[in-house]
Amino acid sequence: MTSLRKTSPQVAAAVLAFALIGGCSSASGNDATGQRGDIQGKALAQCLSGQTIPAGSTLNISTTVAPITSIVANVAGGLAQITGIVPEGTNSHTFEPSPSVAATLAHTDVIFANGLILEEPTKELAATNLPKSAALCELGTAVLPVDDYIYDFSFPKAGGKPNPHLWTDPKLAARYVTVIRDVLVKMDPSNAASYTSNAAAYTVKLNELDAAVTTASATLPAEDRKLLTYHDAYAYFAADYGWQILGAIQPSDFAEPTPREVGDLIAQVKSSKVKAIFGSEVFPSAVLQQIGRETGVTYVDVLRDDDLLGKPGDADHSFLGLMQFDYVTMIDALGGDATVIRNLNITNVAPDNAKYPQ
């Protein structure tokens, strides 16, 4: 370990800034127009605005990030054609679809996106290329009241983009499933029974994940249930499972933090006595590595929020595989017992024939 960096006079401000990141999920107030709930209600109505396809034809579904593709595939169960848009391993927050995606959208009956302003360029392309009969379904926007949006260091309220990572919270992922089921049942009623039973079976799996994460989290003393991550993907999870977000390092413009911010974070890590800090496999961070080195804290750089494990067709290339991996990784590194998560059966409930761009 190198010599300790001198504490900068900015520490107090930094501590305050990072304290604000914590799991305060209901203090964000009204949306920009002051209309509580209106955005959520409109989003849900839009999800259900697609026309029913003729009996005997196949529903064409587009999806944005890979976790959503996997969730939709489990509900659709091989009865629909599913095409992902955002390639795995890319920065989904800055992703701009190539013009060729327009052709996919032109044959899409419903596109499932995350929403909360994650995929604006894809939404714009969809607005001009989706058929009139199609639906644009922003799952996060449809399931989460505006009052529950989380804003923090990486997603400051002033920037207008709330933290969009709802899917890493098993409880919120289960709400996605309900909306997806309702959309598929409405647009393709011939297969309603299958969609309904797939959704029920998948919800059981998500409830098992929920219970396992709760049990494994409880093996950590409260003072160790703390996350300092590079990419800010676990804010809703933390709020729902009693974890504290110490901070996320990635600034809102996805650049690197300034040297002064790094110095402040080093002081913050030392004073918090956190046992491990977490980088993201999609965003390798020399800065987090430096913080780990200078604080003597274990640096784990493999978390992932929208890049599934393995490759398409692999058993663990799935949303459930991703969640199992992340929460086992976190709880192991912090000294807890993640056995109950490791023992989950993460098999998909239905065949996943979706196209996952790489």
Site string for Zn ion, 174-213 (x = CB under 5 A): ----------------------------------------
Residue with the shortest CB distance to Zn ion: 305
Out of 305, 307, 326, 352, point to the residue binding Zn ion (CB under 5 A): 305
Shortest approach of Zn ion to residue 231 CB, angstroms? 5
* Candidate ranges 2-10, 149-157, 214-222, 301-309; the one touching Zn ion (CB under 5 A): 301-309
Query: Whole-number minimum distance, CB 310 to Zn ion, in Å?
Result: 19
> Whole-angstrom Cα distance, residue 201 to residue 58?
22
Q: How many CA atoms lie within 13 A of 145 on its CB side?
A: 12
Q: Which is nearer to Zn ion, 233 or 297 (CB)?
A: 233
Nearer CB in complex with Zn ion: 305/352: 305
Residue environment code for 267-303, b if the CB has 16+ CB neighbours within 10 A, otherwise e: bbbbebebebbbbbbbbebebbebbbebbebebbbeb
Nearer to Zn ion, 264 or 305 (CB): 305
Instruction: List the end-to-end C-alpha distance of the chain, in Å, as a whole number.
Output: 38
**Structure token pair of residue 85:** 């848009």
Taking the least distance from each CB to Zn ion, the nearer of 272 and 280 is: 280
The closest of 18, 20, 4 to 268, measured between CA atoms, is 18
**In whole angstroms, how close is the CB of 193 to Zn ion at the nearest point?**
35
Q: Is the distance from CB of 238 to CB of 229 less than 8 angstroms? A: no
Q: Is 169 in the site for Zn ion (CB under 5 A)?
A: no
CB of 12 to Zn ion, least distance (A): 29
Q: Which alpha helices (DSSP H) does 77-169 contain, by range?
A: 101-106, 120-129, 139-143
Site pattern 217..236 for Zn ion (x: CB under 5 A): ----------------x---
Give the binding-site size for Zn ion (rule: CB under 5 A).
Answer: 2
Q: Which residue has the tokens 């026309």?
A: 51
* Single-letter amino acid, residue 197: S
Q: Which is nearer to Zn ion, 210 or 305 (CB)?
A: 305
95 vs 195, beta carbon nearer Zn ion: 95
Binding mask 64-83 for Zn ion (x = CB under 5 A): --------------------
CB 283 to Zn ion: min, Å:
9
Please, which of residues 233-252 interact with Zn ion by CB under 5 A? Answer: 233
Q: Are 183 and 137 in contact (CB under 8 A)?
A: yes
| Distance from C-alpha of 209 to C-alpha of 214, rounded to nearest angstrom | 8
Q: Give least dist CB 227 to Zn ion, A.
A: 14
Give me the least distance between CB of 163 and Zn ion, in Å please: 9
Nearest CA to 127 among 146, 140, 142, 108? 108
Please name the residue that has the structure tokens 């909306």: 179
Minimal CA–CA distance to 231: which of 176, 163, 161, 172?
163
Chain positions contacting Zn ion, by CB under 5 A: 233, 305
